[in-house]
Structure 1
Amino acid sequence: MSALLGLDGLVLQPPRRAFVMTSLMAGFTLAVPGAAEAAAIHTDSAGLHAGEVRIPATGGTLPGYAAAPAAPGRYPVVLVIEEIFGVHEHIKDLCRRLAKAGYLAVAPELYARIGDLSTMTDVGAIIRDVISKAPDAQMLADLDSAAAWASTTGIEGSLGDPAPLGVTGFCRGGRNTWLYAAHNPAVKAAVAWYGPVGGATTPIQPRTAADVAAELKAPLLGLYGGADTGIPVADVEAAAAKARAAGKTVELRVYPEAPHGFNADYRPSYREDVAKDGWARMLAWFKAHGVG
């Protein structure tokens, strides 16, 4: 098993443990107080191939969820990066929404090696016992594997076009969207939904989104809430300014009254108007930059 090169050049060994999660959770996460499954958006799979998939990756096979138009062919690929709560029904629904828009969307379960997010109910424990133990180098490699799977295997005859690759992520996945857009030169467009740009670093998570801002390899759209108490708008604007100073394309849309998680329709933080506006902006961003 080969070593992985971290974002700062540090060589990291991939975990040798067995995969803890071998299949995705059913339904919604158990870890969000006040989650309202009945109010969540449910996108049907009519006209789609959609379901759980297996993605070959370092050390084994990642469970994931994919959706694509049912007509055989090649479709632009969008990698969907989960929140800290795993690939639960909300993330699956986002994949189906993207498939309805003409994409092959795939969401790998990036934490499958470390913990079973389907059984965890305490957010602090998820962060401490799972998220903090996930090497960034492994995350980037697993997203590479998901992109390769889309273009070589796909789902039921629907394959990904290897050229127009997009990436989007939510919360922690928004942070990882910045990192992936700085990692993979094949990415044509990236959209980060309320992704932290700062925070502490560790040997296995050596750089923040702001640290890699000047290294972006694709245009990035950032969708943020002005009422997000955990992500200061000034920090996001500073990261965007750093990227622009390096000649990168970054556009920010800050919704003044929106809290963190404003697109998460199963949570009390959901704001329908800005979520719809952000979704439309994301699709337009992808198309404007050659993804779709």
Structure 2
Amino acid sequence: MSIPDDARGTTLGGPEGLDPRPLSRRGFVMTSLITGLTLATARVEAQAITTDAEGIEAGEVKIPAADGPMPGYRAVPRGEGPFPIVLVIEEIFGVHDYIKDICRRLAKAGYCAVAPELYARQGDLSTMTDVKTIISEVISKTPDGEWIADLDAAAAWAASAAKGDLARLGVMGWCRGGRAVWLYDAHRTDLKAAIAWYGPLGGERSAIQPRTAGDMAGEIHAPLLALYGGADSSIPIASVEEARDKARAAGKSVELIVYPEAPHGFHADYRPSYRKDAAEDGWRRALAFLKQHGVA
């Protein structure tokens, strides 16, 4: 699905350096989603949360993108709708069972949740077992303009074919997906609410990833809830505070919540980093934030 001309401009037009048009296109390497959990990180599968599909419709879908069908996962309440849309942005590990379960949790709360596989063109994440390889061969080679266009396509598809209401649009992402939340918030002017779970604010810039999340903090549109761990060795809290202050100085709204003892990945219930109290509190805050800002 191409984005119609009348849906561009002020609605989808992002700031300079984040052109929503794809910067490069290649065939889809992944044509379906990961079955089970990622192989690329330590797992504690016995503690992983499993949400059933009672009262909702949930499953893998094909989302029309500019260059063909993109694999994704959709969960939505049963009934006519339309339901508010939450775009779910994966970690670096792909749309695996953890991300699918998050979609089902959101559907149980009344949302049309859609998680497109944003790295489907770069490599088969279902076979990758090394984080460094994922970063070097997949993450660093995915243009920001490409996944931004894919999220726009997912939102348009949710509204046209998945009982979603584009007038009530939110976004939520984890880890690298948390970074994407900041950037997408700067791109999309009709976004109602954005929630970043421990997304990095800094990092290297490149021709295809020209600006960091911190660079974009003063250009966000929707109110943003930032959920971070005080014991996260990979993301200095000072960098998040700086981004928050930058946004506020520009008249933007950022609410920062720091869980002092929580490490990176504290919401990832399938990993040793999971911290139940912080994860549950953050989830309650996230749902309340969506409702507070019109995604309900």
TM-score by length of 2: 0.93
CA distance in 1, matches of 2:205, 2:14: 16
2:110 matched residue in structure 1: 102
Tell me, yes or no, if structure 1 residue 31 matches structure 2 residue 40: yes
Q: Provide the secondary structure at the position in 1 that maps to 2:103.
A: helix
In the TM superposition, what is the alpha-carbon distance from 1:37 to its structure 2 partner?
A: 1.7
In the TM superposition, what is the alpha-carbon distance from 1:7 to its structure 2 partner?
A: 4.7
2:5 matched residue in structure 1: none
Tell me, yes or no, if structure 1 residue 73 matches structure 2 residue 84: no
CA distance in 2, matches of 1:195, 1:138: 19
1:139 matched residue in structure 2: 147
Tell me, yes or no, if structure 1 residue 166 matches structure 2 residue 174: no
State the AA in 2 paired with 1:199.
G
1:197 matched residue in structure 2: 201
What is the aligned residue count?
286
1:89 matched residue in structure 2: 97
1:185 matched residue in structure 2: 189
In the TM superposition, what is the alpha-carbon distance from 1:38 to its structure 2 partner?
A: 2.1
CA distance in 1, matches of 2:283, 2:52: 18
Q: Provide the secondary structure at the position in 2 that maps to 1:146.
A: helix
CA distance in 2, matches of 1:51, 1:20: 20
- Pick from 124, 127, 135: which aligns with 2:135? 127
In the TM superposition, what is the alpha-carbon distance from 1:16 to its structure 2 partner?
A: 3.5
What is the root-mean-square deviation in Å for CA atoms of aligned residues?
1.7
Contact 2:223 2:254 in 1 (8 A): yes
CA distance in 2, matches of 1:267, 1:8: 35
State the AA in 1 paired with 2:208.
I
**Deviation string for 1:133-166 (max 9, x for gaps)?**
0000001100000000000011xxxx00110100
Contact 1:5 1:12 in 2 (8 A): no
State the AA in 2 paired with 1:218.
A
In the TM superposition, what is the alpha-carbon distance from 1:52 to its structure 2 partner?
A: 0.2
CA distance in 1, matches of 2:23, 2:31: 17
Tell me, yes or no, if structure 1 residue 234 matches structure 2 residue 274: no
In the TM superposition, what is the alpha-carbon distance from 1:17 to its structure 2 partner?
A: 2.2
In the TM superposition, what is the alpha-carbon distance from 1:186 to its structure 2 partner?
A: 1.4
CA distance in 2, matches of 1:213, 1:97: 28
2:227 matched residue in structure 1: 223
Where does the alignment leave 5 or more consecutive residues of structure 1 unmatched? none
State the AA in 2 paired with 1:55.
I
Contact 1:6 1:206 in 2 (8 A): no
Q: Provide the secondary structure at the position in 2 that maps to 1:125.
A: helix
CA distance in 2, matches of 1:277, 1:247: 27
Where does the alignment leave 5 or more consecutive residues of structure 2 unmatched? 3-12
CA distance in 2, matches of 1:183, 1:10: 9
Contact 2:170 2:192 in 1 (8 A): yes
In the TM superposition, what is the alpha-carbon distance from 1:14 to its structure 2 partner?
A: 4.0
User: Measured at CA, do residues 251 and 11 of structure 1 come closer, stay the same or move farther in structure 2, by a change above 3 Å?
Assistant: closer
User: Measured at CA, do residues 286 and 46 of structure 1 come closer, stay the same or move farther in structure 2, by a change above 3 Å?
Assistant: same
User: Measured at CA, do residues 96 and 10 of structure 1 come closer, stay the same or move farther in structure 2, by a change above 3 Å?
Assistant: closer
User: Measured at CA, do residues 5 and 186 of structure 1 come closer, stay the same or move farther in structure 2, by a change above 3 Å?
Assistant: closer
Deviation larger for 65-74 or 224-233: 65-74
State the AA in 2 paired with 1:104.
C
Q: Provide the secondary structure at the position in 1 that maps to 2:192.
A: strand
State the AA in 2 paired with 1:18.
G
Percent identity between the two aligned chains: 65
TM-score by length of 1: 0.95
Tell me, yes or no, if structure 1 residue 21 matches structure 2 residue 34: no
User: Measured at CA, do residues 217 and 39 of structure 1 come closer, stay the same or move farther in structure 2, by a change above 3 Å?
Assistant: same
**Deviation string for 1:53-85 (max 9, x for gaps)?**
110112111100010101122100000000000
2:10 matched residue in structure 1: none
In the TM superposition, what is the alpha-carbon distance from 1:15 to its structure 2 partner?
A: 3.2
- Runs of 4+ aligned structure 1 residues displaced above 6 Å come to 9-12
Deviation larger for 74-83 or 13-22: 13-22
1:150 matched residue in structure 2: 158
Contact 1:95 1:106 in 2 (8 A): yes
- Pick from 109, 113, 123: which aligns with 2:121? 113
